[in-house]
Amino acid sequence: MNQRLVCRHLALMLVAVGLWSPAALSQTAQVTNSGSQPTRSFARIVQLMQRKLDQSRLASQIPGAQVGFVYIDGETPEGKPRYVFGSVVSGVSNLESITQLKKSDRLLAGSIGKTFVSSLALMLVQDGKLNLDDKIEKWLGSEAWFKKLPNAKDITLRMLLNHSSGIDNHAELENFQKQALKSAGRNIKYEELIEWVLNKKPLFPAGTGYHYADTNYILAGMIIEKATGKSLYEQIEDRILKPFKLERTTPSNTLTIPEMATGYLENKPVIVGGKFTINPQWEWAGGGFASNAEDLARWASLLYGGAVLTQKSLDEMFNSTSSGEGSTYGLGAMVTRSKWGRSYGHDGEFPGYSSDMRYYAKYNIAIAVMANADGTVGVDRFLSSACDNFAGVIIGATGGKQISQAEQLKFQAQAETWLGLIFGGKFDESWEQLSDRLQRRFPKDVWANTMKAFLNKAGKFNSRKLTAIVYSNPESKSIAIDFESSFSKLPTASETLTLELENGVWKVESYSLR
């Protein structure tokens, strides 16, 4: 609900920062390993992950957070990849009782639930029960409200799943949000959610633009139920949760959910007297699940690693993008370039809870991060880079080519020189050092205007300190350079510059400022 869809790993990104102060409490790591005995590297990774989580949570002033992870650690006796999974936790599940957060505690996953809905839809396509390019009128045309739906006769299932339908997002409408707060104790019929967008003017012709909307997934959920004659939750339970043993993942369709951590919206609890003050049942196919970070990391590894869908369906999921912002959003999947190469996943937000889930294809690493906080600049900053940071712990601990001191100095100098150009307003010169991909994406005139608007949000540059330089892909053809920085509008910030080797020359592949 009200998922902001800030794609947290875009090449250019700006997130404001700030702090608040809850009680501080860390917990010893709790881990699960798929083998009979954890390896030495696994134990070391858990130790490093726990330390980073404790530090990051305290710095961001978050009540509690979980990090789940999956990676490959050698081979099984049968010669197959040996997947290892685990989780670490830090902080509290309830600030009033100072109850420690456990790795088994559930938190609301927000729009990460869309990955279950889109996966189920693609399973039904594989079964021949749905077609991505069928008009939704086939399934919903008999509904009394259908003709009042914007772009009704032109929308396909594919357009719903990649948010190119032109329908507004009911969850972001002020009147809807007021009603959700006022009527928290009432369960609704899902058709009621559609009423908030009826008779509205389309945002754009169907299939020609991008606007993220939970409403699209409410409609997709209805189509799934019409095509199968079974409830959406029942099918996700039978085809995904049970077969893949996601035992901590459950529908969030009641005011009380067992073993839930209390969420905090702008530092105020969203569970009072054991019940939600905002009914998660209203989210349904727009999200609709509670889970823990370990389950979500395992789900990311299974889904994006190819264990759930056919390769054809995965190609549809990743390649069915729309335009503008939608160029990085497929069928319920964010497809982005991170400091560790291409990643697939989704983020999520429900009042009181924030989460992110990523799979790093080059490394076969899945990371999921969940926090029982929402609506603070601290949690926004934490989530903006958390998956990248925790993936980096695993990548650094499991080997790979090391960068010599001399190479570090060379890369640092190149990065600082390039940053000096953009903050000095020399955009044409900085453009010449971009990778071919970035130059195609941002022609010279577009680059200058983009950077001016981007840098204006940060303000005047104050200081910059190198924190890390690492190879960011297994072939050692990409370098990630991290800085702690300060600007007039962002007193405490972090910068990441990624360099990629092109024809023997290191070029700027991405730049992020958080």
Say which CATH number the domain at 436 has. 3.10.450.100
**pTM attached to this predicted model:** 0.82
Q: Does 36 score more than 80 pLDDT?
A: no
User: Hey, what are 352's tokens?
Assistant: 């009181």
What is the pLDDT, as a whole number, of residue 142? 96
Here the tokens at position 286 are 């727009």
Looking at the predicted structure, is the pLDDT value of residue 12 above 60?
no
Report residue 292 as tokens: 């823990």
74 burial (CB, 10 Å; 0-12 / 13-18 / 19+) is exposed
> Tens digits of per-residue pLDDT, 204-240?
999 999 999 999 999 999 999 999 999 999 999 999 9
Mean pLDDT, to the nearest integer, of 248-261?
Answer: 97
Is position 467 within any domain? Answer: yes
Q: Which residue has the tokens 């969030």?
A: 252
30, pLDDT greater than 50: no
Residue 506: partners with Cβ closer than 8 Å, 6 or more residues away: 411, 414, 479, 499, 500
Give the rounded percent of residues in the chain with a pLDDT score beyond 90: 72
pLDDT given for residue 41 in this prediction:
81
pLDDT at 166 > cutoff 90: yes
- Over residues 114-151, the pLDDT tens digits come to 999 999 999 999 999 999 999 999 999 999 999 999 99
Alpha carbon 312 to its chain's center: 23
474 pLDDT tier (thresholds 50, 70, 90) = low
In a domain, 442, yes or no: yes
Residue 179 in domain = no
Mean pLDDT, rounded, of the chain: 89
Q: Which range is least confidently modeled, 33-42, 339-348, 500-509?
A: 33-42
pLDDT at 1 over 90: no
Q: Could you list the residue range(s) of the whole structural domain that residue 486 is in? A: 405-513
Q: What is the pLDDT of residue 26?
A: 32
Query: Residue 186 has what pLDDT?
Result: 86
496 domain-assigned: yes
Q: CA-to-CA distance for 497 and 489, rounded, in angstroms?
A: 20
Q: 479 lies in a domain?
A: yes
Helix (H, G, I), strand (E, B) or coil at 152: helix
Total domains present in the chain: 1
In tens, the pLDDT along 420-429 reads 999 999 999 9
Q: What is the arithmetic mean of pLDDT over 151-169?
A: 98
pLDDT digits (tens, 9 = 90+) for 176-201: 888 877 887 888 899 999 999 999 99
Distance of CA 373 to the CA centre of its chain: 15
Q: What pLDDT score does 323 carry?
A: 85
pLDDT at 175: 87
Q: What percent of the chain shows pLDDT beyond 70?
A: 91
pLDDT score at 475: 67
Is 368 inside a domain boundary? no
The per-residue pLDDT for range 75-97, each reduced to its tens digit, is 888 888 889 999 999 999 999 99
Q: Is the pLDDT of residue 324 over 80?
A: yes
Nearest to 109 by CA among 255, 254, 334, 263: 263
- Per the structure block, which two tokens stand in for 356? 């992110």
Inside any domain, residue 448:
yes
The reply to whether 363 falls in a domain is no
- E strand spans, 42-110: 64-75, 81-94, 99-100, 107-108
Higher pLDDT, 38 or 454: 454
